[in-house]
A and B are shown apart, each in its own frame.
Chain A
Amino acid sequence: MYLYDQYDQAMVDARVAEFRDQCQRRIDGKLSEDQFKPLRLMNGLYLQLHAYMLRVAIPYGTLNGRQMRALGDIADTFDRKYGHFTTRQNIQYNWIKLEEAPDILEALAKVEMHAIQTSGNCIRNISSDHFAGAAADEVADPRPYAELLRQWSSFHPEFSYLPRKFKFAVIASETDRAAMRLHDIGINIVRGDAGELGAAFYVGGGMGRTPMIAPLIRDFVPLDQLITYTEACLRVYNRYGRRDNKYKARIKILVHELGAQEYTRQVEEEFAHLLTQGIEPPRAELERIKSYFVDPAFDANAPDVIDRTDPDFAVWVDRNTHPHKQHNYVSAVISLKPVGGIPGDATADQMRLMAELGEAYSFDELRVIHTQNIVLPHVRKADLFTLWQKLVEAGLGTPNLDQIGDIIACPGLDYCSLANARSIPVAQKISERFAASGKGEALGELKLKISGCINACGHHHAGHIGILGVDKKGVENYQLLLGGSEAEDTSLGKITGPGFSEDGIVDAVETAADVYLRERQNGERFLDTYRRIGMEPFKEALYG
């Protein structure tokens, strides 16, 4: 994985020193909250429901053992012994003290991490495929391009004050595991007709108040023009994106209002101009970055079999491993969704254990998935059983990947000051209900996603079943959505009808699941059945 050079380290160290001074000036009263707030937000420090919350960037979700261990140690030393992995492949700490925030940033800087650009109207942490560099179906490793974009966008003076926040996803396979078309810019690394690599650009996607699926605006940008084209996309947005209305300020609104064709025309015009300016980083820089992402030394002679004698282990292998490009390896997913647990939360001890397991079994690599789980990308099949035993012992062996218990849930009203309703208790009740009835097993792949407000951090629009918490005259209420997907068949869920109470929504999810079980035809997932039969049978069962 990428390692900081002296420039990266110097930038991050300087930022720590600067923020230490800013915090001290706030505590001493030399800065008012109005003056300080934008400064702390630039360093990922929010004031949330119970305390300050710190969001730490995990570039394209990639961590080494030392970094994961440091995250665990920070949870122990500065927080209440846990952290929350988010749908942006980041981690958040919920109980931070202002006076200790600079010490945390210093601890992060020691392991080449920071919280810069995790808030504010700038380019946020770049997300990517969590199986990057391991997946059998990728045309290239997308991480060098994500890293190039990270470096280009870090402190980019022109794009530090955009009309609104800006999110990228970079993938390199037909299968979309990163919700690519629901980002402001989604980049898919593809092969051209002559076998050369290039980038397909999807611009103007997003969830939130006005969900949109990004249209394809260019199907092939040569990779030695990647940054130039990206910059052209951003420039048109920065010039014409609305700054007068926060709710209309995202690029998706601009692309929608101009029309994809006109937006593209303007981008192409800007691109032609920028090509004359020579802004593309030298090819050598991309090659330098790529050298950090060469394959680890896979053991070609490792056994290619998995001993499936233990039935529980066999279930876990079937659910929680993913094919690897190296035949005798797999990528193993650690579920942070135990039955009745808090989705995405991990204790300090669990983080340290995952660090250790990443070092021992996955060439010192871990990934955070936007579904709030952790991946060990390169595990020898021969090591899987031992790994699984260690995970089970630590409460990390739940075999539920992409099943109804593998729920995405944002922090909701238990932690988030923007929330309308709690998300986590709903997730807990649904996970417990389906585990107790045993129906989870029968349902197969069913992606359920819950947001505590319209900002959609829990990706509810993109859930096969989505739940949105709303405030109904001061009482929590939940809307049910069906038919969303954030995969390569991206679609936006539709609201079924009137909302439900906290217990009512759990019943409603079960009702929808029962309709699927009744109606499904050979091999159909919930989503396939919904797409075939439409909303009516579900409505009938829910409200009829």
Chain B
Amino acid sequence: MKILTGNDLKSGAVTWWTGVDWSLHVEEAVDVGDQAGSIAAREESARRVNAPYAIDAERDERGVRPAHIKDRIRALGPTVRPDLTLKPADPKAGSWVI
């Protein structure tokens, strides 16, 4: 599947397109098919997202998993600071990245 990601303009936080809005949680990302370009252009010009781009991902039993490790680290947070990730209480969160 293709999903769309970018950063929140004001906070810089990593966000994912859910079909109606932008979420901090990659598991809420939806397949944008071949619509990435038009959604990105519309959302960026409305300043609801900054620097959006489409990536490959797949859906598995744990949700949506970006194909590249870089986007998995973006989705979770730095692997070396579990306390600063989106899942500070989940000891297995880091293994999802690798």
Contacts and interface: CB of A to CB of B under 8 A. Distances in A.
B79 A51 contact: no
Given A47-B50, A413-B70, A476-B69, A27 B10 contact: yes
Interface string B1-33: 000000101111110000000000000000000
B89 interface: no
A49 B73 CA distance: 8
Contacts of A47: 7, 12, 50-51
Nearest to A80: B84
Contact of A415 (B7, B12, B78): B78
Given A33-B51, A98-B9, A342-B80, A49 B68 contact: no
B10 A99 contact: yes
Interface string A93-105: 0011111000000
Interface in A410-431: 413-415, 417, 419, 422, 424-425, 428
Nearest to B70: A413
Contacts of A50: 12-14, 74, 77-78
B58 to A, nearest CB: 13
B10 A413 contact: no
Interface string A19-30: 000000011010
Contacts of B50: 33, 47
B12 A414 contact: no
B7 A474 contact: no
Given A342-B80, A425-B79, A33 B44 contact: yes
Contacts of A422: 73, 79-80
A79 to B, nearest CB: 11
B1 to A, nearest CB: 17
Interface string A58-96: 000000000000000000000010000000000000011
A317 B79 CA distance: 34
B42 interface: no
Contact of A51 (B11, B44, B73, B80): B11
A342 B79 CA distance: 11
B59 interface: no
B87 interface: no
A29 B69 contact: no
Contacts of B68: 474
B95 to A, nearest CB: 13
A96 B13 CA distance: 9
B14 A97 contact: no
Q: Which of A50, A51, A52, A415 has the most CB of B within 10 A?
A: A50
Nearest to B68: A474
Contacts of A425: 79-80
Contacts of B77: 50
B12 A51 contact: yes
A513 B50 CA distance: 46
Given A49-B73, A413-B69, A414-B79, A29 B47 contact: yes
B11 A98 contact: yes
B73 A413 contact: yes
Given A51-B12, A97-B12, A419 B70 contact: yes
B69 A97 contact: no
B69 A428 contact: no
Nearest to A82: B81
Contacts of B69: 413, 474-476
A422 B80 CA distance: 9
A473 B13 CA distance: 27
A425 B97 CA distance: 13
Contacts of A51: 7, 11-14
A475 B97 CA distance: 11
B84 A98 contact: no
Interface centre among B11, B12, B69, B84 (most CB of A within 10 A): B12
Q: State the 4 A-B residue pairs at the shortest beta-carbon distance, nearest first.
A: A51-B12, A414-B78, A52-B12, A424-B80
Given A414-B79, A424-B78, A424-B80, 14 more contacts: A26-B9, A49-B73, A50-B12, A50-B74, A97-B10, A97-B11, A98-B11, A413-B69, A414-B73, A415-B78, A417-B70, A425-B79, A474-B67, A476-B69
16 contacts: A27-B10, A27-B47, A29-B47, A33-B44, A47-B51, A49-B14, A50-B12, A50-B14, A50-B77, A51-B11, A99-B11, A415-B78, A422-B80, A424-B78, A474-B68, A476-B69
Interface of A: 26-27, 29, 33, 47, 49-52, 80, 95-99, 342, 413-415, 417, 419, 422, 424-425, 428, 474-476
